[in-house]
A and B are shown apart, each in its own frame.
Chain A
Amino acid sequence: MGKAFEQAAALILSGDRELWSILAVTARMSLCSSLAALALGVPLGIWLGACSFPGRRALLVVNRTLMGTPPVVCGLLFYLLFSGVGPFRRLRLLFTVPVMILAQVTLITPLVVGNLESYVTAVAPPVRETARGLGLPPWKVFLLLVNECLYPIFSVYLLAFARAIAEVGAVSMVGGGIAWKTNVMTTAIMQYTNRGDFSKAIALGIILMALSLGVNLLVSLLQGGVRR
Chain B
Amino acid sequence: MNFPAFQKSYGRRTVLAMPDFALEPGRVCAVLGANGAGKSTLAKVLAGAVPADGGQRVVPARVTVGYLPQRSFPFRMTVRQNLLVTGGGRQRAEELLSALGLSPLADRRAALLSGGELARMSLARALMRPCRLLILDEPTAAMDMESTVLAEGLLQRTCRETGRTLLLVTHSLQQARRTADDALFLHRGRLLEQGPAGRVLYQPDRPETKEFLDFYGS
Task: Kindly list chain B residues whose C-beta atoms are within 8 Å of the C-beta of A136.
Answer: 85-87
Q: Which residue of chain A has its CB nearest to the CB of B43?
A: A133
- Binding site secondary structure of chain B: loop
User: A195 on the interface (CB 8 Å rule)?
Assistant: no
- In the complex, the answer to whether A134 meets B73 with C-beta atoms within 8 Å is no
Q: In the assembled complex, how far is the CB of residue A154 from the closest CB belonging to chain B, in whole angstroms?
A: 13
Q: Which residue of chain B has its CB nearest to the CB of A144?
A: B75
- In the complex, the answer to whether B66 meets A135 with C-beta atoms within 8 Å is yes
Task: Kindly list chain A residues whose C-beta atoms are within 8 Å of the C-beta of B112.
Answer: 228
A144-B85, A227-B109, A228-B109 in contact; A133/B69 too (CB < 8 A)? Answer: yes
User: A89 on the interface (CB 8 Å rule)?
Assistant: no
- In the complex, the answer to whether B125 meets A134 with C-beta atoms within 8 Å is yes
Q: In the assembled complex, how far is the CB of residue A98 from the closest CB belonging to chain B, in whole angstroms?
A: 36
- In the complex, the answer to whether B131 meets A130 with C-beta atoms within 8 Å is no
- In the complex, the answer to whether A126 meets B73 with C-beta atoms within 8 Å is yes
Q: Out of B48, B71, B76, name the residue touching A228 (CB < 8 Å).
A: B76
User: A17 on the interface (CB 8 Å rule)?
Assistant: no
A144-B75, A228-B109, A228-B112 in contact; A134/B129 too (CB < 8 A)? Answer: yes
- In the complex, the answer to whether A150 meets B69 with C-beta atoms within 8 Å is no
User: A6 on the interface (CB 8 Å rule)?
Assistant: no
Instruction: Mark contacts of B121-136 with chain A using CB atoms, 8 A cut-off: 1 yes-contact digit, 0 otherwise.
Output: 0100110110100010
Q: How far is the CA of A151 from the CA of B77 in the complex (A)?
A: 12
Which of B66, B75, B86 has the most C-beta atoms of chain A within 10 angstroms of its own C-beta?
Answer: B75
Q: How far is the CA of A135 from the CA of B126 in the complex (A)?
A: 9
Task: Kindly list chain A residues whose C-beta atoms are within 8 Å of the C-beta of B67.
Answer: 132-133
Which of A131, A135, A151, A228 has the most C-beta atoms of chain B within 10 angstroms of its own C-beta?
Answer: A135
Q: How far is the CA of A99 from the CA of B65 in the complex (A)?
A: 52
Q: In the assembled complex, how far is the CB of residue A125 from the closest CB belonging to chain B, in whole angstroms?
A: 9
User: A18 on the interface (CB 8 Å rule)?
Assistant: no
User: A129 on the interface (CB 8 Å rule)?
Assistant: yes
User: B64 on the interface (CB 8 Å rule)?
Assistant: yes
A130-B69, A228-B109 in contact; A147/B75 too (CB < 8 A)? Answer: yes
10 closest A-B pairs by beta carbon, nearest first, are A133-B67, A130-B73, A126-B73, A228-B111, A134-B86, A129-B69, A127-B73, A130-B72, A228-B109, A148-B76
Q: Which residues of A contact B (CB under 8 A)?
A: 126-127, 129-136, 140, 144, 147-148, 150-151, 227-228
Q: Which residues of B contact A (CB under 8 A)?
A: 47-49, 64-69, 71-73, 75-77, 85-87, 109, 111-112, 122, 125-126, 128-129, 131, 135
Of the A-B pairs whose beta carbons lie under 8 Å apart in the complex, a sample of 5, sorted by A's number, is A126-B73, A130-B72, A133-B135, A227-B76, A227-B109
